[in-house]
Amino acid sequence: MKKSAAVGMVLLAVLLVVLVLAGYAAQSAPEGEALSGAASESAVVLLFEPCGDTELFAYTDLDVTHVLAADGSRACTAKYPARFAFLRGDALTMLSLQRDTVFVQRVQTTTLEQTALFSLDIPGDDVLFAETDDFGRFFMVLYSEPTEVLVYDALGGYTGSLLYAEPVRGLQVMDSRLFVLLPSCGERIALDADFPQTGTDTFAYSAEAQPYRMLSADTYINTEGRVCALDGTALLDTGLNTPAAGLTVLTDDSVFWVSDSSTVTRASLTGNDAADFPVNGILKALTATAAVTYRDGAFYRTPYREFAARPTPTPTASASPTPSPAPDSGLTFRDGCLFAPEGMTCAGLRDVLAPREAQIYTENMAPASGRLKTGLTALVDGTPYTVVVPGDINGSGTVNSADLRLLQRHLADDEPLASDALFAADLNADGVADAADLVLLSARIGA
């Protein structure tokens, strides 16, 4: 009996340990499901998109391109290593950029069996941007001819070019439209059976915050990390800088983005409700339902579960004295604002203020990164300050002619500035934004 009791106690102890460990694991980041076999750290993800009841995942590793369904139902290996992959209807098209040509490989999505293999008469080393549409046509921009979009039919025959006065900065097919992104404006080209026609549907944006990537037919994320409508209205500030802005997905009214290398953040376009979902590994791709990470020499798929709402940062109960940064830091604390020099980054600010704790947030209280911008919030030892970059009136993080125009409109009573923008416009710190500041700003931009 004693022996049986002892065995029972040991088993109970083991069970308790297992339960404790299980509880601990439940609080850690989700493990995810293996998508691939061994993959090197240099492997490049080409595509991760919804396809039927699963997702298609494609990546190139060590000059081999692998394509597989996330549910494990099918897989294939491309004949040539691909640089681009496009999912259009029931076809997955991959482009392999060889020195003297571009190989086109096309597979059927339900079977992943090859349906086409041919080449385009283009030097692969010269391809800057590439796209395909639902008709199977190809659109190419070359480094050597950045103002020309070459158009090829579904069989690889050249059919003509779209010509522009400015270099093309981006090319993307979205909802049966070809978006051509230029330095000063974007163009939406309707895609039908006829040859695409240009010059009929354009939208303007600030040269300092150009679209980095279209998120939908009427929404984009710009180079400053802001999600914007086509008319330029800022809808959400993710705090991202490129190329992190490339890992951003919009569905309905929610935006998903990679706020750090192992956290997916979700927020609506209509509210201040950012929430986080941690994953194990380094984030490489995401959809609105799952993410792909790289860890332990392989790719893993992690479906989203519960996103944890971010606690709203609040000041400490007893505010710390106003910091006194070194005179050569360029920082000044005044009237509840932290004045910082143009070009200082969030990381640089934290370094300058150390050992004080400094956290920087966007207007929707998401952690900010990259350049400091007028309008950000800095919590220094729990005390909130509005970040002001003198001259950065529009909150882009840079001082340029767009800021000058805003000050001119303010002085003409056409568009009054908000409080943080007024602080940024007061370059001589005399308490008012006036013509004297306009002269200083003009001289600064022209220097």
Q: How confident is the model at residue 11 (pLDDT cuts 50, 70, 90)?
A: very low
The CA-atom distances, in angstroms, between 387 and each of 53, 234, 254, 447 are: 46, 19, 27, 24
Average pLDDT of span 326-349? 87
Q: Which two tokens stand for residue 193?
A: 């059976």
Residue 289 CA to residue 380 CA, distance in Å, equals 36
| Of 235, 241, 237, the residue nearest 346 (C-alpha) | 241
If you compute the radius of gyration of the chain from its CA atoms, what whole number of angstroms results?
A: 26
Which residue bears the tokens 């400094």?
358
**239: pLDDT strictly greater than 90:** no
Residue 224 CA to residue 386 CA, distance in Å, equals 18
pLDDT digits (tens, 9 = 90+) for 385-441: 999 999 999 888 889 888 998 999 899 888 888 888 999 999 988 888 899 899 899
Q: How confident is the model at residue 335 (pLDDT cuts 50, 70, 90)?
A: confident
Phi then psi dihedrals of residue 22, to 5 deg: -65, -40
Could you tell me if 339 and 355 are in contact, meaning their C-beta atoms sit under 8 angstroms apart?
no
Phi then psi dihedrals of residue 11, to 5 deg: -65, -40
Domains contained in the chain, CATH given: 33-309 (2.130.10.10), 327-446 (1.10.1330.10)
pLDDT digits (tens, 9 = 90+) for 292-329: 999 999 999 999 999 998 766 655 544 556 677 766 78
Residue 257 CA neighbour count, 13 Å, CB half: 29
| Of 42, 77, 72, 71, the residue nearest 58 (C-alpha) | 77
Q: Which two tokens stand for residue 24?
A: 């601990």
Give residues with Cβ within 8 angstroms of 447, minimum separation 6: none
**68, 70, 74, 80 alpha-carbon torsion, rounded to 10°:** 0
Could you tell me if 223 and 209 are in contact, meaning their C-beta atoms sit under 8 angstroms apart?
yes
Q: In which region does residue 388 sit, left (phi positive, over 0), alpha (psi from -120 to 50) or beta (all else)?
A: beta
Give residues with Cβ within 8 angstroms of 279, minimum separation 6: 29, 30, 32, 262, 263, 264, 291, 293, 302
Q: How confident is the model at residue 243 (pLDDT cuts 50, 70, 90)?
A: low
